C-alpha cells in the first residue's frame, strides 16, 4: 500500500476515535473521554512521526472533507432498540 492510502486510513481511524470521545463526553463518561483523547493524541504523534506531519495533515483534511461532502457515507446512528 502507498503512503497516501496509509495516511488516509489512519486519518479515518483518528476521526472515528474522536467521535467516540465526543460520544463518551456527551453521555457523562468524561473520565473515559479524557483517557481516549490522551490516547488519540499519542497515536496521532506516532502516526505523524511515521508518515510525516504533512502527509497526515493532508489525509486529515481529506477525511474531514469525505464526512462533509458525502454525508450518505456515514451510517445512521443505531437506536437503543437495535443494541439490545
d(CA 7, CA 62): 10
Q: Say what the pTM is.
A: 0.77
Radius of gyration over alpha carbons of the chain, in Å?
15
Q: What pLDDT digit, counting tens, does each position of 2-31 carry?
A: 989 999 999 999 999 999 999 999 999 999
Ranges of each domain in the chain = 3-72
Q: What is the pLDDT of residue 67?
A: 77
Name the E strands within 1-84: none
Asked if residue 47 lies in contact with residue 73, where contact means CB atoms within 8 angstroms, the answer is no
Q: What pLDDT digit, counting tens, does each position of 23-69 carry?
A: 999 999 999 999 999 999 999 999 999 999 999 999 999 998 887 76
Amino acid at each position: 500500500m502507498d503512503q497516501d492510502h496509509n495516511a488516509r486510513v489512519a486519518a479515518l481511524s483518528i476521526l472515528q476515535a474522536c467521535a467516540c470521545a465526543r460520544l463518551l463526553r456527551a453521555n457523562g463518561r468524561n473520565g473515559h473521554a479524557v483517557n481516549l483523547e490522551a490516547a488519540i493524541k499519542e497515536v496521532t504523534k506516532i502516526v505523524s512521526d511515521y508518515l510525516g506531519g504533512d502527509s497526515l495533515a493532508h489525509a486529515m483534511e481529506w477525511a474531514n472533507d469525505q464526512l462533509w461532502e458525502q454525508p450518505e457515507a456515514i451510517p445512521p446512528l443505531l437506536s437503543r432498540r437495535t443494541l439490545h
